[in-house]
């Protein structure tokens, strides 16, 4: 099956410009069998899909629920939870990556770094946590080895990272606009009908290949050196929202009786509950 495993939508991402329905139609036209929605800290587009799943645009096309999560310390992480598992906590950005990994695995989900060798602060290997804790890679389940919005150098480094740690590589367009939809793909030698199928495939020995063509008209490429200002602005924005939503995350953790923890300068201690 050919899947675009990094898709943003107008319904779910503030910077998404293409409606989910239009993205699905374009992918079908390009010969794709499905897509993984990976909006930023949001499942809104998937909830839209569930309400409109009988729309002809989704006939013979698999729409899968994923998320691109903004950690407080390790950039963007793609998360796939089993079919039917709903964690509101994942729509509240700002968890530290080690805690995020434990929570996702506790509920049977999998996760891996998006564009791991890309932009500073946004990409695992260009964050302080990623540089300091190289063994962190052993805790992930996959790596995004092809991202259509990344440079060939960035994608090559991601491929080498996956190979070094023995992780399967996925690919996607990272599309925010119509013109970039379907420019990255993952080809998976398995029948995927839902998120649980996808998780089993990525954790098994099935053949997975990732590739595509580079999207040359990203915001980063258009604004050149001014992109550094944008990156730092995003870093401050992410830190602010992470702190702002800290209380809500704590409530969700307590509600699920998963972890007992204390907070002091954003460092937490925790243990698994019964």
Q: State the Cα–Cα distance between residues 85 and 259, nearest whole angstrom.
A: 18
Sign of the dihedral defined by the CA atoms of residues 20, 219, 130, 96, in that order: negative
Tell me the β-bridge partners of 171.
146
Residue 271 has pLDDT above 60, yes or no: no
- pLDDT tens per residue across span 200-241: 999 999 999 999 999 987 655 544 555 555 565 666 656 666
- Closest to 161 measured CA to CA, from 230, 219, 208, 114: 114
Instruction: Kindly list the domain boundaries of the chain, sorted by start residue.
Output: 2-223
| Phi, psi (degrees; rounded to nearest 5) at 74 | -140, 25
- pLDDT tens per residue across span 95-154: 999 999 999 999 999 999 999 999 888 999 999 899 888 789 999 999 999 999 999 999
Contact 38, 66 (CB under 8 A): yes
Which pair of tokens denotes residue 48? 């839209």
Choosing among 3.30.300.30, 3.10.580.10, 3.20.20.140, 1.10.10.1800, the CATH entry for 2-223 is 3.20.20.140
- pLDDT tens per residue across span 160-189: 999 999 999 999 999 999 999 999 999 999
Q: Is 93 helix (H, G, I), strand (E, B) or coil?
A: coil
Q: pLDDT > 70: what percent of the chain?
A: 84
The torsion defined by the Cα of 5, 6, 12 and 13, in degrees rounded to 10, comes to 180
The pTM (predicted TM-score) of the whole model is 0.86
Q: Give the residue carrying structure tokens 């030698």.
A: 189
């Amino acid at each position: 099956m050919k899947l675009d495993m990094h898709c943003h939508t107008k319904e779910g991402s503030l910077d998404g410009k293409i409606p989910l329905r239009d993205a699905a139609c374009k992918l079908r036209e390009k010969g794709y069998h499905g897509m993984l929605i990976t909006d930023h800290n949001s499942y809104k587009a998937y909830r839209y899909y569930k309400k409109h799943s009988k729309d002809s645009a989704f006939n013979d096309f698999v729409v899968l629920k994923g998320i691109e999560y903004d950690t407080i310390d390790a950039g963007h992480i793609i998360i796939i939870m089993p079919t039917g598992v709903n964690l509101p906590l994942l729509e509240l950005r700002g968890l530290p990556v080690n805690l995020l990994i434990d929570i996702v695995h506790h509920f049977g989900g999998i996760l891996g770094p998006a564009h791991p060798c890309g932009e500073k602060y946004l990409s695992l290997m260009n964050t302080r946590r990623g540089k300091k804790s190289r063994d962190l890679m052993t805790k992930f389940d996959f790596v995004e080895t092809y991202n259509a919005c990344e440079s060939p150098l960035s994608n090559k480094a991601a491929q080498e990272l996956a190979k070094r740690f023995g992780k399967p590589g996925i690919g996607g367009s990272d599309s925010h606009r119509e013109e970039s939809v379907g420019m990255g793909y993952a080809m998976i030698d398995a029948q995927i009908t839902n998120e649980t199928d996808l998780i089993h495939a990525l954790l098994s020995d099935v053949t997975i290949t990732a590739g595509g063509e580079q999207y040359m008209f990203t915001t980063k490429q258009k604004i050149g050196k001014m992109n550094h200002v944008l990156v730092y602005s995003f870093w401050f924005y992410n830190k602010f929202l992470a702190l702002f939503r800290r209380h809500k995350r704590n409530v969700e953790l307590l509600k699920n009786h998963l972890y007992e923890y204390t907070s002091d300068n954003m460092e937490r201690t925790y243990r698994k509950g019964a």
